[in-house]
Structure 1
């Protein structure tokens, strides 16, 4: 994969929700997204935002003890949390990824599985800047990042327009 890199800073949950909606527009069945960041960085919050963008209303919680959770939406979402795994064997990994070809798969703590994971379409690293701000670094194909930027721009334009109509601040 030709890799391109991008970054953005999120300051609010509304911005995270906007990013989730944009990612939901860009991601397709069979896509694998790797999420890296320390505990509390916002990996599950980002998965929740993508789920909402996919039309999933179910509560999204970290599947740390279940390891994986599948949700139905416009595209199925497979949420894997590999935090408790270390060097997962091929059989265990195969079971976790059985649903991956039909779903958007988002993996938290992927380094525990990286030896057996198929190639990812996107990797996102989340860095805590302070109690509210997060720096996200993206690695993906150039066309994916271009599509993501376009969808984010469209959503921001709609948000600014709606706020102006309400007479509120953006």
Structure 2
């Protein structure tokens, strides 16, 4: 496990950018942390690192947003999922085993659906600007 401390939104974005730049087809990220910890902000950096130029928003009510970059990015927010079977109804497996990268905010809530070899990221808010980001399962420099 690697732990990175970021001291601003910009540094959190930059960490995400570095992560996104080394992701490959089929990578799945389980992104976890309390409300307001910075999950969507890190995802914005991941998207930029994948070459996505669109504005990134949290798919809180739509469950998934799709973006095109050097690889497709499938951004899930499963916070409002009441039943894990809702994931099947939106075709989660097609995204999971598709040609892109999946970022699943609140991934712990659907842990049993995620592959064992996923990338696990936990963001902890230390104060207004400081975040501790723990990363498991990602190889490379970031």
From the superposition, tell whether residues 91 and 66 of structure 1 become closer, same or farther in structure 2 (CA, over 3 Å): closer
Aligned to 1:19, the other structure's residue is in SS state helix
Higher Cα Rg, which structure: 1
Superposition RMSD on alpha carbons, in Å? 1.8
Q: TM-score, normalised by structure 2?
A: 0.90
Q: Paired residue for 1:58?
A: 54
Residue 93 of structure 1: how far off its partner (Å): 6.2
The list of structure 1 runs, each at least 4 consecutive aligned residues, that deviate by more than 6 angstroms after superposition, is none
Check whether the contact 2:120–2:135 (CA below 8 A) recurs between aligned residues.
Answer: yes
Change in Cα spacing, 1:128 to 1:91, as seen in structure 2 (3 Å) is closer
1:38 corresponds to which residue? 34
Counterpart among 107, 121, 139 of residue 110 in structure 1: 107
More helix by share: 1
**Unaligned 5+ runs, structure 1:** 153-170
Aligned length: 141
Identify which range, 70-79 or 19-28, moves more after superposition: 19-28
CA contact (8 A) 2:17 2:45 kept: yes
Residues 129-140 of structure 1 aligned to structure 2 (within 5 Å): 129-140=126-137
Task: Find the aligned partners of 1:118 and 1:127 in 2 and give their Cα distance.
Answer: 23
Query: What is the Cα deviation at residue 128 of structure 1?
Result: 0.5
TM-score by length of 1: 0.76
- Are the counterparts in 1 of residues 21 and 46 from structure 2 also a CA contact under 8 Å? no
1:73 aligned onto 2:101: no
Question: What residue ranges of structure 2 are gaps of 5+ in the alignment?
Answer: none
Residue in structure 2 matched with residue 122 of structure 1 by the alignment: 119
1:113 match: secondary structure: helix
